[in-house]
Amino acid sequence: MARKRLRLPMPKIRANPAGEQLVNLPTWMWLDRDSWGDISATASVPGVSVTAVARPLSATWSMGDGSSVTCTSSGTPFPSGGDPKSASPDCGHTYRSSSAGRPAQAFLVSVKVQWAVTWSGAGQSGTFPNLSTTASASFRVAESQGITTG
């Protein structure tokens, strides 16, 4: 049978605010559309073909501050002109402390995408359990201080 690989895409992390996050301001997280969605591959020889289909199930984000967030979609990109105080409708986190004092003054954030992979062909079918892809990024989280005079 001719070999053909089913390549799971590596997650591409995106967040808003772009650049530094702020304490007590919602952070929107999402994955690029090309790293989330069904993928299939078929390998064939005369008279026999086998098809594998991978479907993303969830994205579990480790936020670097001890908390984690599990999302069942790629997340929603922050809309142009959106209210920076609004929370993401499906995949977000609010930091309660700054990343000052951490290595590189940032939280190491990682995301693990869990995949369901099924295959069928030659009169049989099955699954490949526990397949995942991961990625990481550094999020700097600043704390804004208000000053009053009077």
pLDDT score recorded for residue 91:
97
Q: Which residues pair with 14 in a beta bridge?
A: 30
Report the length, in residues, of the chain.
150
Instruction: Determine the Cα–Cα distance for residues 88 and 118; give it in Å rounded to an integer.
Output: 31
The fraction of the chain above a pLDDT of 90, given in percent, is 78
pLDDT band at 41 (very low <50, low <70, confident <90, very high): very high
pTM of the complete model: 0.87
Block residue for tokens 């609010």: 94
Helix (H, G, I), strand (E, B) or coil at 41: strand
Q: How confident is the model over 59-110, as pLDDT tens digits?
A: 999 999 999 999 999 999 999 999 999 999 999 999 999 999 999 999 999 9
